């Protein structure tokens, strides 16, 4: 279990691109607005040398060694208190074999989600050190001002320590579970489930979200994760909104089928994290309690202080 390390301004906060580049004008504009949002909250931002590298005809923000060097450099910088990704996309898992997580300072958290799930899971497995599943710079730039302020308040240690779900129908199975939070992007969990970088989920509350997947592909990911055997002994399941996953009815059917094959595990859906307009931060390894009463809205309470 891992207590959260908060990042109050002024930071400094390091920013790099461990996965995909800022390849479009829209992404670059969102990145610019995200930096302005960090500045408005009082953060000092330290940009890595190659944060904006775009390889011709490539989906990566520079070659593996360039991205790895930027990440290592920010973690080695004694002035930097935390490292936030510019965006996700794809590419973080390509760094896992060459990244010695034991050399990264334990008191310096990584901030990101989506493709950054790979780095969070591997670091947690290797060292037991958590990190923030939280908006990256480009998502901060797209968020409504209030949602951005709320997310940054949580990262700074001044946010609410409880999530109240929208309604009672967010409950998928009644029950109560207490355990460490682990999970993130479903695609990345399925991809890493057959590797040595996947952490132990015994007693964990499994957090899952994804974006832009057809219902049958989403179902395939659920089945890969379930059939891997990695879910034996999990304590609970919390699912995000699965933004732009269609058709919605088939997605909900797959979600219910997935939970139905995890007998006795309390579960809730429509949690406010992931690729939607709201992405509330949570800390990998933090102890939390999931309460799904059945006749009222589920509640997720964060227990570490």
Handedness of CA 21, 22, 24, 30 (dihedral sign): positive
| Residue 44 appears among annotated catalytic residues | no
Are 6 and 156 in contact by the 8 Å Cβ rule? The answer is yes
pLDDT at 37 over 80: yes
Catalytic-labelled residue, pool 114, 120, 193, 254? 114
Minimal CA–CA distance to 38: which of 62, 7, 61? 7
- Could you give the domains of the chain? 13-155 (3.40.50.10740), 162-302 (3.50.30.60)
165-217 pLDDT, tens digit per residue, is: 999 999 999 999 999 999 999 999 999 999 999 999 999 999 999 999 999 99
pTM of the model: 0.97
| Residue 120 appears among annotated catalytic residues | no
pLDDT at 1 over 70: no
Q: Which pLDDT band, with edges at 50, 70 and 90, does 2 fall under?
A: confident
- CB-CB neighbours of 44 under 10 Å: 14
d(CA 191, CA 122): 12
- CB-CB neighbours of 187 under 10 Å: 23
Catalytic-labelled residue, pool 193, 254, 275, 286? 275
64-121 pLDDT, tens digit per residue, is: 999 999 999 999 999 999 999 999 999 999 999 999 999 999 999 999 999 999 999 9
Handedness of CA 119, 120, 126, 130 (dihedral sign): positive
pLDDT of residue 304: 76
Mean pLDDT of the chain: 97
DSSP per-residue letters across 276-298:
SS----EETT-EEEEEE-SSS--
Q: Which pLDDT band, with edges at 50, 70 and 90, does 57 fall under?
A: confident
Are 49 and 77 in contact by the 8 Å Cβ rule? The answer is no
Structure tokens of 79?
């002035």
| Residue 51 appears among annotated catalytic residues | no
Tell the residue number behind the tokens 């659920």, with chain if given.
222
Minimal CA–CA distance to 141: which of 10, 49, 25? 25
CA distance to 33, 52, 97, 153, 157, per residue, from 143 (Å): 10, 21, 34, 14, 20
| 106: exposed, middle or buried (Cβ count in 10 Å: 0-12, 13-18, 19+) | middle
Are 206 and 258 in contact by the 8 Å Cβ rule? The answer is no
d(CA 45, CA 115): 22
Catalytic-labelled residue, pool 51, 209, 213, 254? 209
């Amino acid at each position: 279990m891992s207590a959260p390390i908060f990042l109050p301004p002024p930071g400094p906060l390091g920013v790099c691109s461990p996965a995909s580049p800022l390849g479009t004008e829209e992404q670059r504009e969102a990145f610019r607005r995200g930096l302005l949002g960090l500045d408005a909250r009082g953060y000092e931002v330290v940009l890595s040398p190659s944060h904006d590298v775009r390889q011709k005809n490539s989906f990566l923000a520079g070659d593996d060694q360039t991205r790895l060097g930027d990440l290592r450099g920010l973690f080695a910088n004694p002035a930097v208190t935390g490292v936030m990704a510019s965006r996700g996309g794809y590419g973080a898992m390509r760094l896992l074999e060459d990244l010695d997580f034991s050399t990264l300072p334990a008191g310096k958290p990584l901030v990101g989600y989506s493709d950054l799930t790979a780095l969070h899971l591997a670091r947690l497995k290797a060292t037991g050190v958590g990190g923030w599943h939280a908006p990256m710079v480009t998502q901060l730039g797209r968020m409504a001002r209030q949602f951005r302020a709320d997310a940054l308040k949580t990262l700074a240690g001044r946010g609410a320590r409880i999530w109240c779900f929208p309604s009672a129908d967010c409950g998928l199975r009644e029950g109560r579970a207490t355990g460490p939070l682990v999970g993130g992007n479903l695609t990345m969990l399925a991809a890493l489930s057959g590797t040595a970088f996947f952490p132990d989920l015994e007693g964990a509350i499994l957090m899952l979200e994804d974006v832009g997947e057809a219902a049958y592909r989403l179902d395939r990911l659920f089945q890969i994760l379930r059939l891997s055997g990695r879910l034996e002994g999990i304590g609970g399941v919390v699912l995000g909104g699965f933004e732009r996953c269609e058709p919605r009815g088939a997605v909900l059917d797959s979600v219910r089928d997935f939970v139905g094959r995890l007998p006795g595990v309390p579960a809730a859906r429509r949690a406010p994290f992931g690729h939607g307009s709201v992405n509330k931060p949570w800390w990998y390894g933090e102890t939390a309690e999931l309460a799904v009463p059945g006749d009222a809205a589920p509640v997720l309470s964060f227990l570490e202080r």
